[in-house]
């Protein structure tokens, strides 16, 4: 039984120019201890889908799903009080920007301690001991001294380590990492990713890694979901996805990896992800797809079987086919 089981999730925002469906018919299943990666360009709905799980979307968002459960609990009928007990304890999230996610008015020690007090009911001495233990676990030197530090006194990498310490403080069953290496330099990115993977292996928690970096996916994930313009366009095991991508969009993302470059320039996907006012008919990827024909431009694509990566495409690529 999946730890997180979501079927047909949609998120629609009310805007001044009308409703905008940021997530459209998404299915997500995460088993205990599994590492699932959700990939795609910006504005693909990756973060929005997970914020819907956390219950952190604004009032302008309408969330619907045929099924939405975590560890057997129906998230759609959950009361506010029960959700507050669940979120932060059994389900935790690391956000994109650590410098803006931490409260600048409170010390690091206080902010981690608040999570321990709220969810585990720890006393002051016990909170201090556990906070020092957590800061040490995520690789922060001299953790006792960092308890009294404010966020502005920490580097970006150090702030992200604090966010990770806060997220794992209650030993969650599921950790959602939303592009946790954004705005960090390359060396620190590798350290943060290694830390997340090590913690996942040590604790056995499930990990959902949201990213646009296919290199990160190759190093960390077991299964991959590819999203484009709010829709899932492919779902595969990581080895199968890298060996035989079935959707042209997945193939284009992989072709843009530096280690797959064959010429002097890296191939790029022309155009941009469609927004609210420029969504095409037929397949949403058709304006940027080199394989698109009249059918792609007029008819919505079907969902292919698992043997073809459940690709949302009229003409899925098969093993051995070269990308255009």
The pLDDT-based confidence of 320 (bands split at 50, 70, 90) is low
Contacts of 221 (CB under 8 A, 6+ apart): 35, 36, 37, 209, 238
Nearest to 311 by CA among 215, 231, 210: 231
The string of pLDDT tens digits covering residues 59-72 is 999 999 999 999 99
Chain segment 139-174, per-residue pLDDT in tens: 999 999 999 999 999 998 999 999 999 999 999 999
pLDDT bracket for residue 324 (50, 70, 90): very low
> What domains are defined for the chain?
32-56+79-227 (3.40.50.300)
- Residues 192-210 pLDDT 10s: 888 999 999 999 999 999 9
Q: What pLDDT is recorded for position 107?
A: 96
- 0.75 surpassed by pTM: yes
Position 4 pLDDT exceeds 50: yes
CA–CA gap between residue 294 and residue 224 (Å, rounded): 30
Cβ neighbours of residue 230 closer than 8 Å, sequence gap 6 or more: 21, 22, 23, 24, 26, 44, 45
Confidence of residue 268 (pLDDT cuts 50, 70, 90): confident
The tens digit of pLDDT for each residue in 61-104 reads 999 999 999 999 999 999 988 998 999 999 999 988 888 889 99
Show Cβ contacts of residue 135 under 8 Å, excluding neighbours closer than 6 positions.
Answer: 108, 112, 143, 146, 147, 161, 162, 165
- Three-class secondary structure of residue 191 per DSSP: helix
């Amino acid at each position: 039984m999946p730890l997180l089981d979501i079927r047909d999730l949609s998120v629609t925002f009310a805007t001044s120019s009308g409703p905008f469906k940021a997530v459209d018919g998404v299915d997500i299943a995460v088993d205990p201890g599994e590492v699932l990666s959700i990939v795609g360009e910006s504005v693909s709905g990756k973060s929005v889908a997970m914020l819907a799980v956390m219950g952190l979307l604004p009032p302008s968002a309408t969330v619907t799903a045929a099924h939405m459960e975590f560890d057997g609990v129906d998230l759609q009928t959950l009361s506010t009080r029960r959700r507050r007990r669940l979120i932060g304890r059994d389900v935790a999230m690391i956000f994109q920007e650590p410098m803006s996610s931490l409260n600048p008015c409170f010390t690091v020690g206080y902010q981690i301690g608040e999570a321990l007090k709220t969810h585990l009911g720890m006393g002051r001495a016990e909170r201090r001991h556990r906070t020092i233990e957590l800061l040490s676990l995520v690789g922060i030197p001299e953790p006792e001294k960092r308890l009294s530090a404010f966020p502005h006194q920490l580097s970006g990498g150090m702030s992200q380590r604090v966010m990770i310490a806060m997220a794992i403080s209650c030993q969650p069953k599921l950790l959602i990492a939303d592009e946790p290496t954004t705005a960090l330099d390359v060396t620190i990115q590798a350290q943060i990713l290694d830390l997340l993977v090590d913690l996942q292996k040590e604790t056995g928690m499930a990990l959902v890694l949201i990213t646009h970096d296919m290199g990160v996916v190759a190093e960390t994930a077991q299964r991959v979901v590819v999203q484009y313009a709010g829709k899932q366009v492919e779902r595969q095991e990581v080895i199968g996805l890298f060996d035989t991508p079935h959707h042209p969009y997945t193939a284009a993302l992989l072709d843009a990896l530096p280690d797959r470059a064959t010429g002097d320039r890296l191939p790029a996907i022309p155009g941009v992800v469609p927004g609210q006012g420029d969504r095409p008919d037929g397949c949403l990827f058709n304006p940027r797809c080199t394989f698109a024909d009249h059918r792609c431009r007029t008819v919505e694509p079907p969902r292919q079987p698992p043997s073809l990566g459940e690709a949302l495409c009229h003409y899925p690529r098969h093993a051995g086919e070269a990308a255009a």
